[in-house]
Amino acid sequence: MKPVLRTPLLTFHLWTGITVGVVFMVVALSGTALIFRSKLERTLDPQRFVVEPGATRLPIDNLVARARVAHPGVDFLSVRYWSDPTASFTAYFADRNYVHLNPYTGAILGTRARYGEGFGWIEGLHKYLRLEPTLGESVNGTFAGVFAALLLTGFVLWWPATRRALVAGLTLNRKLTGRPWQLNLHKTIGAYAGLVLLFSAVSGIPISFESTWPVLDLITFSKREQPPSAPVGVPTAFAGFDVVGRQIAKLMPAARETYIPLPKAGLISAYAIAADAPHPNARSYVFLDPAASVIRYAPWAQASAGYRLYYWMLSLHSAATGGIVVQLLLLTATLCVPLLAWTGVASYLRRKSRARTPVSVVALNPEPVSAK
């Protein structure tokens, strides 16, 4: 590569890594802690997440009433429940707190702050950097774009000119020491881990910025269907969660997960994950009026390509699909971020130190060296 191109790319790559590399490490390592969240949460906190299966589930409205009593004075927003007989029932409130209930007995299992404790705290760090969510999401999405640019410049700088150089660039050379070893380690690890990290960074951008969703529609040559308008002239009284739940169950029997919010602006925008859904974020939306009449059913299989691409990216980004292979890939790649930061910074410092060494040697040894 010509110096006129290499120099600015190297400068950007170096100083971006040095100045905001700490943020990248925080986001990467917090994401690492979330890879196995679904299993670890049930293992570490069975009191709130695991119940003993019973014969019959209580009505949803009954559970909601119990949750309201357990968390008074705060607006109630939505419910979420699962087909897994051992999963607890959750009610969500406007102060970002969940109330967990036993769906068979109605017992209150505990209250959990969405971003205030345990894995929720780590999620807040990963998604919002513990800032106010709206601000933090924008900041983190911007950092995701910067991180993607850092990785892309790394690939351009690494790209070998010959096949022999390609093999060398993909191979760790244990015979090297000092700065050559650090550079070799940085480039080789980056070549492998960088692909996974680049996907993770790029997929994080639309998660943070809804404004980028049209780009997904553009590259998939599709058009995302907008939610329907609230019907005019229908009763505004809410029919209740049980009636809405039965309507959804007719469309998607034995759904893995069901989410139902209160009506908003005369419309209920509920979704469920069908029993045969390809991944845990394959949302099939059901739009209903407050009287629980179905206005539109939008199954996953009929959704636009851009819509499905977004939720596939979300599932891979969070390791919710792909099994142990995807989880291990993400785990390994994210753990490489501190290693890449260390080798990059250490190599730079060694180079700066070496550049100053000749001046120091001349100053300390003014005697001329005799020629032989």
Digits of tens for pLDDT over the chain (372 positions)?
677 788 999 999 999 999 999 999 999 999 999 999 999 999 999 999 999 999 999 999 999 999 999 999 999 999 999 999 999 999 999 999 999 999 999 999 999 999 999 999 999 999 999 999 889 999 999 999 999 999 999 999 999 888 898 898 899 999 999 999 999 999 999 999 999 999 999 999 999 999 999 999 999 999 999 999 988 877 789 999 999 999 999 999 999 999 999 999 999 999 999 999 999 999 999 999 999 999 999 999 999 999 999 999 999 999 999 999 999 999 999 999 999 999 999 988 888 887 776 554 444 445 554 443
Residue 277 tokens, joined? 């859904």
Considering only CA atoms, give the Rg of the chain: 27
Q: What is the DSSP string of 140-176?
A: HHHHHHHHHHHHHHHHHHH--SSHHHHHHHTS--TT-
Structure-token pair, residue 289 = 């009026």
Long-range contacts, stretch 268-271, CB < 8 angstroms, 24+ apart:
268/244, 268/292, 269/227, 270/244
CB 76 within 8 A of CB 67: yes
- Under a CB-based contact definition with an 8 Å cutoff, are residues 228 and 296 in contact? yes
CB 270 within 8 A of CB 244: yes
d(CA 204, CA 28): 11
13: nearest Cα among 322, 357, 343, 354: 343
Q: Are 341 and 27 in contact (CB under 8 A)?
A: no
Name 356's Cβ contacts closer than 8 Å, sequence gap at least 6: none
Q: With contact defined as beta carbons under 8 Å apart, do 119 and 37 qualify? A: yes
* C-alpha dihedral, 52 to 54 to 59 to 60, nearest 10°: 20
The beta-strand segments (E) located in the chain are 76-82, 89-93, 97-101, 108-113, 257-261, 268-273, 283-288, 294-298
Is 11 within 8 Å of 150 (Cβ atoms)? no
